[in-house]
Structure 1
Amino acid sequence: MHWSTTRVQRPKQLQNACKGKSEIEEDTQPAKRQTPLEKLTLEMCKDEAVIKELTVGRRVGFYKVRGQIGCGNFSKVKLAVHALTKDKVAIKIMDKMRLDLQTQRMLSREISNMESLYHPNLLQLYEVLETPSRLYLVLEFAGGGDLHTRISSGGKLSDQESKIVFAQILSAVKYMHENNIIHRDLKAENVLYTTNACIKVADFGFSTRVNNRNQALDTFCGSPPYAAPELFKDESYMGPPVDVWAMGVLLFFMVTGTLPFRADTVAKLRQTVLEGAYVLPTWVSAPCQRLIKGILKPEPLERCALDQMLGCEWLLPVELFRPIPPLYQLNPIHLMEAGPGELDREQEEVKGILDKLGITQEHILNNQGKRIRSPITGVYRILLHRVKRNNGAESVPIISGVVKDPKRDSLRAYRNLRHSSKLCVLS
């Protein structure tokens, strides 16, 4: 398969030889078969029903808008289907007239941060569309609900499920911090399940990019029950430990079904958090208790680092294989710039689907510089995500069982020897 901006006409059928001269001349210029992209573009320009849907908001760009699936302070989220690829997406819709200057800055930061992250456990941004009155963020659709709803309706997670969920959150946050982006609003409502139980960290409205991980921040962000003690002190703070604290609250919520810090008012909650007053049920496994206690330390610098969490006893049995694709793959120009044999199997598959849809090299060349604000980028990112997902890029971590730790095993053997061996009994 190769890309070209011209189409090769099919040869005439043999029966043309039996036709009259005028018929043959008429058939020498057969009607060009429209590609799906050409057909859709024509419908959006000339089909009255489609034009009406675009006018009343039942269509946005290439997306057919369905029912509402969520809402926020400044936005509502609707389910939609891409008219070309048929993939489901979530569209976050914001009324620009209601956005003050600070909210506009936050939104710009959210878009920039999401555009620069590419991880299997982070909700993906496909495309941004804008009209004079509205802004649309086209997002990956995670159809399995959120963690808060799952626990509120079904109770705490099992120890095994908690490990699988927490390991994915940890992988996502570690990747963000390595790219100098702090989430600042980690909570159960922002942890989403896909239909195949893969976890997606979502909602980057309060996220911020720092020059380095020790940079001081001074904006109170996020939900009070998940807020670290330093946020309640009205002082500057470092970003990574704030995310780490919120992860500790999340883990507590997963394994117990309740939040560690609860109060009737924010003032009482503040006091509870500053005192570090929480009680871990005795039935929570000892390795998990040690991890929670290592995270929920009032002093930011004393909290567990993310690498320490990855190597902790509680998570050791979790096999978390997460190949992180390079960021340049998010730009469709990569398909054209790659030399012979440089595209992997997934990229070749995406290229083939684009060709069938009628998206040519010319479309991609004209797309340069538009980045996320382009329907061509939207189609490409949706297809790339679909292909990678179908090839197992979002497979759920596996619990491998008891991990053999030579040091721990030798210590256990020594303790057993000391207490049971007749040769070692001291009188």
Structure 2
Amino acid sequence: MQNVERTEVLVVGAGQAGIAASEHLGANGISHIVLERNRIAERWRSERWDSLVANGPAWHDRFPGMEFQNDGPDDFVAKESVADYFVDYADRIKAPIRTGIEVKKVSRLDGRPGFRVETSENVIEASYVIAATGAFQIPVIPPLVPKTPSLTQIHSSAYRNPASLPAGAVLVVGAGSSGVQIADELLEAGRDVYLSVGPHDRPPRSYRGRDFVWWLGVLNKWDMEATPGAEHTTIAVSGARGGETIDFRRLAHQGMKLVGRTERYSDGKLTFAADLTRNIRNGDAYLQDLLDEADAFVARNGLDLPEDPEARRLLSDPACMTDPILSLDLAKAGITTIIWATGFSSDYSWLPSSALDDNRRPKHQRGVSAEPGIYFLGLPWQTRRGSSFIWGVWFDARYVADHIAKQRGYMAYTAPVPQETIDA
């Protein structure tokens, strides 16, 4: 007979979401176990490129209860140090984490509350389950370009450094934070680089002496709730080289070849949408609007922050904007590598189908699943724009833990015995 372990809450995943959940569950006095199939914060170590740093400064991109020990408040922390931070944090709060254990299946118990959780090690029965596996699970590479011996195709999560790629030109598809930083690193290494740029928001790295994360905070933009389409908006920002504003015109003037959205492939040629100029100018408009809001905030609150006219200056349109590349023969362009910075999908097939929608995505409100007793953490726009960021998931985890505490109170309620029953 298989040994069955019991716990009140089972947390699946020991990244930033799982550790935040553990802290808040512990604060509520709720017994729990955290299972992680790899190491704590594994994706920061093995699914990021070598030179990656956090996209926000250390004072902001952390949990409220602990600072980074070896970095200054305005530093952009290297990926290994971020992973070490979560290991140290888990140790500090004494999180009951077990690594090297994979959750195979979660199913509701028959005739009694809770769930049966089948793992690679044993079976666990839990009253509640938190899926804290996050949004960055399965790299997505569009089935656009067929496998070709002379062409290497990798996802941005598999990229490590310029030396790890075959000699030759590189096409990076996707100009969010990952894509643009990888393309910039390759350009700096002397590679011939093409970058496919889609719609994006382009905030300033800093303005009037304050980082953009501060501006989004005081302007209440981190607390924006999801609107149709907004949850898919790409943000182009970088913490590289001490933090800098992404300027696609500057990259083009430095030699990077910009193209529009990648659309089709045929006979060795890629076709691009004629939207590059529109995408870049819409990104510029976002930046200028944010600067206008920041100036209004400074004036309204009488803040002594220095003016920063340089932040509004736009370089001239490069040739790739005035005479766009709409088709590219990969071989003739010398392209030997395509890096797909095209995001991730998720796999929740191990959860009850009642917790998912028709597209097998989490069906929830603020992380509370449609299946009572199942919760989600670490989803983009779970409650607000900041939900998938380190500090944002901490606040979402508090809401989830408080919800569990409330529900267990209901389940613990026992109706008083009627007086007539006692008298009898």
Shorter-chain TM-score: which interval?
under 0.3
Q: Which has the higher helix share?
A: 1
Q: TM-score, normalised by structure 1?
A: 0.25
Q: Which has the higher strand share?
A: 2
